[in-house]
Amino acid sequence: MTRLQELNKKTIINKMTEQFGYKNKLQTPKLEKVVINIGVGESLTQPGQLEKIINNLAIISGQKPIINKAKQSIAGFKIREGDKVGVSVTLRGRKMYDFIDRLVSITLPRIRDFRGISQNSFDKQGNYTLGIKEHTVFPEIPYDTVEFTHGLQISITTSAKTKEEGKALLTYFGFPFGKEK
């Protein structure tokens, strides 16, 4: 059991039950999955970049990513049906908790001029989406081997019913939210 799983089992469930008045501990929201996505639009024209992006995502997540293909052609973006448009990984269970632990305690503080993550990126069901502009903030990526930088999107899916429940859950997990504007 990872550190965050133990924290969830011992303290977070009790705090959430107390805060929101759940009648049963099984009603408390929990983390379901983390999806890491990288769009590879402009890297299609340069040979070898897609493989490097796949390797970077595999190093960051700890599992092999899948390649997402376009479902339909879009002439304005010069995309044909079947073109490779993204790379993604879905993390669940132990790998998800390990990734979130590294994200909160190591990666986010390494971002330049970091003042907390936005509180406005929750959807109505309490899921959170975070964008990172440079993949080099992850300590697993050796900085001297980086030829180009790319961003990535992290979507954290919870079983929360509202934004407030989702925000409380992620706050208890240690997510450093910034001040509201």
pLDDT tens digit sequence for 33-76: 999 998 887 666 677 788 888 888 898 888 999 988 888 887 87
Pick the residue with more confidence: 58 or 79?
58
Expressed as residue numbers, the domain containing 110 is 3-20+33-172
Q: For residue range 149-171, what is the model confidence (pLDDT) as tens digits?
A: 888 999 999 998 888 898 899 99
CATH number at residue 90: 3.30.1440.10
Q: For residue 138, tell me if it sits in a domain.
A: yes
Tell me the C-alpha to C-alpha distance, in Å, between residue 121 and each of 52, 88, 126, 129, 153. 29, 20, 9, 6, 12
Q: For residue 156, tell me if it sits in a domain.
A: yes
Residues 93, 110, 112, 108, Cα dihedral to 10°: 30
Q: For residue 116, tell me if it sits in a domain.
A: yes
| 31-39, strands of its sheet edge to edge | 66-69, 84-91, 31-39, 152-158, 128-132
Query: pTM for the complete prediction?
Result: 0.87
SS3 assignment, position 153: strand
Q: For residue 85, tell me if it sits in a domain.
A: yes
Give the chain's domain count.
1
Q: For residue 149, tell me if it sits in a domain.
A: yes
Q: For residue 128, tell me if it sits in a domain.
A: yes
